[in-house]
Chain A
Amino acid sequence: MDHPADLQPAPAAIAHAPTVRQQLFEFVLQLADTSLVLGHRLSEWCGHGPVLEQDLAMANIALDLLGETRSLYQYAAELEGQGRTEDDLAYLRPATAYRNPLLVEQPNGDFAHTVVRQFLFDNFHYHLLLALKTSPDAPLAAIAEKSVKEAAYHLKWSSEWIIRLGDGTAESRQRLDKALATLWRYAAELTMPTATEAALQDLGLVPDYRGMKPAMDAHTARVLAEATVPAPQIAPFAQKGGKAGQHSEHLGYLLAELQYMQRTYPGLTW
């Protein structure tokens, strides 16, 4: 099994102007927070999956995301240059400093909710990493290069489950419909650039999300068609705010658990 404890050191960062460096720090932090929070959610399934093989699959995806998280935090810490570590960034920031989109902090719900949340994220994540592979920022490109292979597998897993649940039994279909209706509202935030993202897009360091949208939409349409599910007709009001630090009520509890040891025993090494 893959033990992601030993990560390769990232290649040296190119010299960015201080403002750009700050923007890049914020962007990398946003990606790290996103993978951390979603990986955490998936790890909550561990030992409780619907069948042993899927328990393994979800733990596997959680581990991939956690590995990516660590590389990203390490790079973010380097960009920041204040001597903070990956653990300082993960464990010692309040919820309002977290920059993950709302989608990934939503609770697991039933397996259909977990699958839909994963599918909406994977479709974005895969296409983002694919484009980031060619970012002129070498450390970011290197992280993307490694993680995109994993993200391709995640997207395959969640797409196959959308299809199985949609074209499975009446119950699975009804649960899938409900999960889509609940979670669809959080999808738009993924590709809505923040001011930081827009600035980095202008510089060509981060892909323009508009360029990714056709491939993402085509994939969604193909999977939903195979699942025999019509795409949600009326786009519900797009909920957003997580990427600006305005979260749903769920994140606070997640962080309370995640940060428990570091908060209870400040400054110790584990």
Chain B
Amino acid sequence: METPAQDLSRDDQFQARIDADVRIEPKDWMPDAYRKTLIRQISQHAHSEIVGMLPEGNWITRAPSLKRKAILLAKVQDEAGHGLYLYSAAETLGASRDQMLADLHSGKAKYSSIFNYPTLSWADMGCVGWLVDGAAILNQVPLCRTSYGPYARAMVRVCKEESFHQRQGFEIMQTLCAGAPAQKEMAQEALNRWWWPTLMMFGPKDSESPNTEQSMKWRIKRFTNDELRQKFVDMMVPQAEFLGLTVPDSNVRWNEARQAYDFGEVDWNEFWSVVKGNGLCNHDRLQARVQAHEEGAWVREAALAHAAKRAAREAVAA
């Protein structure tokens, strides 16, 4: 049995390592709450990659040129790869992939709400890359320095590929905006739909984000939601102007004193409604994942059964 005093000192030692920016590795002692928070965050991130394959996968078969088709397919494939590294990182904390998937399928585990919005035109492939991946990068770059080693290392690789995807998305937008009026309209219409949902990707306001303080203390998180949201707006407004597009927020204006853009209030009712499952695609996205998993059960069973038969034969032969 451990005394509270020993626990305290172990906690203190742990926090001292975090404060000194020493990476925590799988075999190191860590507080249960730290482990749980990380499993929640990493698995949620992995699920987001996997569910995130669906809205873009929706356009692979309709991409407008062979080159775009290849780029989009490679991008969605990269997301599957990100899902794999992240599930592996969560496994180092003792979570199993089966359990994580079961939690996703039951609705217990969350994934990024942005993927509950539909992709309705080719310009959405531009907006998803430019805005959604842009927001993801702002969220994720600090995670390359996050305190848990396997997560930080997975994120280095993820971020490298994400910034490549973001450039591809911007390039789709550039092509549309330099094209025919129908293409520019398509680009503006997509921006109108994606702008506010991407601002929501940074999560609730700091005053309503209960996990932020502890996560900052553990250096799992390094910036607050509102700080990141501001950075995003400051980055994207000039890019939209460069494209000749208008951000759908009449309150956007440069604030000389703050050296930042002012912007309007996110519709938090919509945010919470989609988080709670009422987005247009919540049902379909989850259903698609559940269906793929259920219809794949016999394939996974066959692979295991064959591997067992083969191992038994090899044991006899040896």
A residues contacting B by CB (< 8 A) are: 1-5, 36, 40, 43-44, 46-56, 59-60, 62-63, 66-67, 69-70, 73, 86-87, 90-91, 110-111, 163-165, 167-169, 171-172, 175, 257-258, 260-262, 265, 268-270
Contacts and interface: CB of A to CB of B under 8 A. Distances in A.
Contacts of B61: 40, 43-44, 257-258
Contact of B295 (A3, A43, A110): A110
Interface string B288-312: 1001100111111111011001000
A63 B78 CA distance: 12
A36 to B, nearest CB: 8
B50 interface: yes
B66 A46 contact: no
Contacts of A262: 64-65
Given A46-B73, A70-B67, A258 B62 contact: yes
Contact of B302 (A55, A86, A168, A260): A168
A73 B67 CA distance: 12
B296 A49 contact: yes
Given A52-B50, A169-B298, A261-B64, 15 more contacts: A3-B74, A5-B74, A46-B53, A47-B53, A47-B76, A50-B296, A52-B84, A54-B296, A54-B299, A59-B77, A66-B73, A70-B70, A90-B66, A260-B62, A270-B172
B175 interface: yes
A87 B303 CA distance: 39
A258 B63 CA distance: 7
Contacts of A40: 61
B271 interface: no
B298 A4 contact: no
B66 A69 contact: yes
B316 interface: no
A53 B84 contact: yes
A111 B298 CA distance: 10
Contact of A5 (B67, B175, B297): B67
23 contacts: A3-B71, A5-B71, A44-B60, A46-B57, A47-B80, A48-B291, A50-B297, A56-B81, A60-B77, A66-B66, A66-B70, A70-B66, A87-B65, A111-B296, A171-B298, A172-B305, A260-B62, A261-B64, A268-B64, A268-B183, A269-B179, A270-B122, A270-B176
B109 to A, nearest CB: 16
Contacts of B176: 270
A167 B313 CA distance: 12
B124 to A, nearest CB: 13
B99 to A, nearest CB: 15
B77 to A, nearest CB: 4
B71 to A, nearest CB: 6
Contacts of B20: none
B51 to A, nearest CB: 9
B66 A269 contact: no
- Most chain A beta carbons < 10 A, residue from B63, B70, B71, B161: B70
Contact of A1 (B77, B87, B309): B77
Closest 7 CB pairs of A and B: A50-B296, A168-B302, A172-B302, A261-B64, A50-B299, A47-B53, A270-B64
B104 interface: no
B62 A268 contact: no
B180 interface: yes
A100 B311 CA distance: 41
B182 interface: yes
Interface string B98-130: 000000000000000000000000100000000
A62 B70 CA distance: 9
- Most chain A beta carbons < 10 A, residue from B54, B64, B301, B309: B64
B296 A47 contact: no
A222 to B, nearest CB: 16
Interface in B43-60: 50, 53-54, 57, 60
A168 B305 contact: yes
A175 B302 CA distance: 11
B122 A171 contact: no
B67 A63 contact: no
A257 B73 contact: no
Given A168-B306, A171-B298, A4 B70 contact: yes
B68 interface: yes
Interface string B19-56: 00000000000000000000000000000001001100
B301 A171 contact: yes
B83 interface: yes
Contacts of A87: 65-66
A261 B65 CA distance: 9
Contacts of B193: none
Contacts of A63: 70, 73-74, 77
A63 B66 CA distance: 11
Contacts of B76: 46-47, 59
A171 B300 CA distance: 12
A202 B66 CA distance: 33
A172 B70 contact: no
